[in-house]
Chains A and B, each alone.
Chain A
Amino acid sequence: MTAVENPASQQEDSPTYRPSPVQRFLPFAIAAVVPFILGSTTENVNFWWKALITVVVLAVVARMAWVWTPRGELTHREDMRLWRTPSDRSWAAVTTFGLLVLPFILASDFTPPMDFPWATWFAVVNLVLIFAMGAAAFNLLVGYSGQISLAHVAFLALGSIVGGIVGVQWSGGNMWVALPAAALAGAVVGAISGLPALRLKHLYLLLATFGFHFVMMLVWREYLQEYFGFVGIRFKGENSPRIASWLHWLPGIDPDDNGEFIITGQFRWYWVLMPITVLSILFMVNVVRTREGRAFAAVRDRDVSASLLGINVARSKLLAFALSSAVVSMSGVLASFYIGSRGEDSFNVQTVLNYAIIIVVGGFSSIQGAIFGSAFFWFLPEWFKWAREELWIVRDIDFLSDYPSEIDLAIKGFLVVIILMFKPDGLAGLWKDVKGWIGRSLARRGP
């Protein structure tokens, strides 16, 4: 097999091949089952053995997904699949496996050398999940639909408010009711907050939506004074979300001594946050590749020619606002219950900028980029902290440990500038290059 520059031409050149349905799903089935087997055998198995098995399974699954991919002239149905090329399928299988095996690795009692911050990582991973969901929705609106909005944090606050009313006050810690309620409220309020977009564009729209942020803060303050007396909303303790008793038969759910299954601790939270984040991101990806999502992109690029294709530009813009705000509000509910308490200072202007950094660094108008951006945003400070404390030479520089947060910010800012200068499409673009490079070098070596 010769070096192939472009996966599309690879498909045309190669002979027609169709995997059987079993072959198509087998790699994903293995990737979904093996982590639970690894996770349930806790006793008497050395961590390193498990690590070895993990790596081997990863490689096998990646290879299987790669080989068992339809090749040759694709039918429409095959062409429409989310994971179409061998490399897409391979990475999808690896990601499935990784997402499922990660909590078991982080929850194990293995301690990495040099005090690498294993324990704090779990919390960071969960925060990345929450932020990835919010940032993906933000990116769908700002990057993909081109409606510059700064009302993002207002919808996190709306999520907390709905979580406070529906989840805490009405149902005493029922997050499952609060989530759809927040989605509904977010969609309605989001469409209203998008009304300025019908007349304004770019910077003017930015200012109008920023005004909405302060309106929401005003609501928050009033609400707090009325119901909670300026302290903030507590989502912890007796208000923690739990799994209802009629669901306790589910595998992996062992009620505590008092007969309740409270979602607490990083491990349990991971299994709540990960599926919700993955499903909502898949939802947005599906929207983007179907009719209304295409209309978002059309309105972003040229609204006049979009309207001459029969797209109701006003409706399309409001839909984008509603969808984005609904998902952001849901991520606000998750963040409230996960973090445990929310006050006025949880929703400052800084947070809007953080989300802006996330989507710009991750890759504008790429939903994948939002995930990379949030990982960048949350992991970097952890690495810096670790480097300051443990890494030789670096740990001896007093200056760095005297001004930790300032140095963190400076390095982060510097990295943002570097990424924007050399990779304007952000980490998602970088990832695409890396993927292409790996694919090419594999193709060169041959199967």
Chain B
Amino acid sequence: MSDEILSFENLTVQFGGVRACDAIDGHVKRGSLFALIGPNGAGKTTLVNAISGVYKPLPGAQVQFHPAGKPTEDLLSYRPFQIARLGVARTFQNLGLFMGENVLTNLLLGRYIHEHTRLIEGGLFTRRAVKRELAARQAIERVVDLLDLGSFKREPVGDLPYGVQKRVEFGRVLAMEPELLMLDEPMAGMSVDEKQDMIRYIYAAQDELDMTVFLIEHDMSVVMSIADHVMVLDFGQKIAEGTPVEMQQDERVIAAYLGTEMAEN
């Protein structure tokens, strides 16, 4: 079990009469790039929300996180901010940035769990607070360099183009240095060039920063080129799971993406 970082079993999320996720099982290997794909409304984001604690799944579900060198944690017993502190970070499909604040502040917020400055220390701007603040800035330096955000540092995030905003949000989760990085459609609405850049960044995060990536993606071609393991959802059900090549040939997956008639031809 030591090569697994996350496992969820029997995960069901229900909104009123709708089952957004229906008894989904899955295992994410440490250091791998796990992709979750599926058409619109398949329940991909709901699954991530359930893992990160935003939604509560129905009883009977199990979500277990295995941090390296530490005991296994049952994520369902924690609140979202505690899950983040355990080392599970995520981005949002429609951006979870703080639009009024500048890029630097947004990135520094990613260091919140690693800094330990108290309110009064910060207010008095004690030597220790300054030291920690400097450490936080040095830590995000690496992210700023990796994502080429240097020229935007002082700009309010709300004024930046969409592609850069996506990068800032990605930078913020990288600054958190999580063990498990969950990216909710990081490439949605991007141009081909920007997508290429983002793929490069994701690889860098995985290799250099030693993170496991859990990726939600719409674009099949992207997933096929980078994922190690793919899970396909449709209407809240897991319809297939395996390597990208297997998924490309799986009839149920083709049916879900292209419709049944096309698949029959």
Contact = CB atoms under 8 A, between A and B. Distances in A.
A binds B: yes
A297 B137 contact: no
B162 interface: no
A309 B172 contact: yes
A305 B172 CA distance: 11
Nearest to A312: B81
A291 B112 contact: yes
Interface in B106-155: 108-110, 112-113, 115-119, 121-125, 129-130, 132-134, 136-138, 141, 154
Contacts of A312: 81
A178 B121 CA distance: 23
Given A80-B137, A286-B122, A287-B119, A294 B109 contact: yes
Interface centre among B89, B124, B125 (most CB of A within 10 A): B125
Contact of B119 (A298, A310, A311, A323): A323
B96 interface: yes
B54 interface: yes
Interface residues of A, number: 32
A41 interface: no
B200 interface: no
Contacts of A292: 117-119, 122
A284 interface: yes
Given A292-B118, A293-B122, A298-B98, A308 B105 contact: no
Given A287-B123, A292-B119, A297-B105, A310 B81 contact: yes
A290 B110 CA distance: 13
B112 A76 contact: no
Contact of B123 (A284, A298, A307): A284
Given A283-B123, A290-B125, A307 B137 contact: no
Contacts of A365: 100
A59 interface: no
Given A80-B133, A301-B101, A319-B119, A308 B96 contact: yes
Given A297-B98, A307-B84, A310-B176, A76 B138 contact: yes
- Measured as residues with beta carbon below 8 angstroms from the partner, the interface class of chain B is 35 or more
B90 interface: yes
A86 to B, nearest CB: 15
A308 B133 contact: no
Contacts of B81: 307-313
A79 B130 CA distance: 12
Nearest to B175: A309
Interface in B60-99: 79-81, 83-85, 89-90, 92, 96-99
A308 B90 contact: yes
A295 interface: yes
B212 interface: no
Interface centre among A290, A298, A319, A365 (most CB of B within 10 A): A290
A309 B113 contact: yes
Interface string B176-214: 100000000000000000000000000000000000000
B176 A76 contact: no
Contacts of A309: 81, 84, 89, 109-110, 112-113, 172, 176
B12 interface: no
A323 B124 CA distance: 13
A23 B98 CA distance: 38
B32 interface: no
B205 to A, nearest CB: 17
A286 B124 contact: yes
A194 to B, nearest CB: 14
A114 interface: no
A8 interface: yes
A291 B101 contact: no
Contacts of A319: 119
B117 A308 contact: no
A117 to B, nearest CB: 37
B133 A290 contact: yes
A91 B123 CA distance: 22
Contacts of A79: 137
Contacts of A295: 109, 112
A445 interface: no
Contacts of B46: none
Interface centre among B105, B113, B129 (most CB of A within 10 A): B105
Contacts of B136: 291
A307 B118 contact: no
Interface in A265-283: 283
B98 A283 contact: no
A333 to B, nearest CB: 19
Contact of A307 (B80, B92, B119, B141): B80
Given A76-B138, A80-B133, A301-B100, A310 B113 contact: yes
A76 to B, nearest CB: 4
5 contacts: A287-B123, A290-B122, A292-B119, A294-B109, A297-B105
Q: Which 4 A-B pairs have the closest CB atoms?
A: A305-B96, A290-B122, A310-B113, A310-B84
Interface of A: 8, 76-77, 79-80, 283-284, 286-287, 290-295, 297-298, 301-302, 304-313, 319, 323, 365
Given A307-B79, A308-B84, 14 more contacts: A80-B137, A286-B123, A292-B117, A295-B112, A298-B101, A298-B109, A298-B112, A308-B81, A309-B172, A310-B84, A310-B112, A311-B81, A311-B112, A313-B81
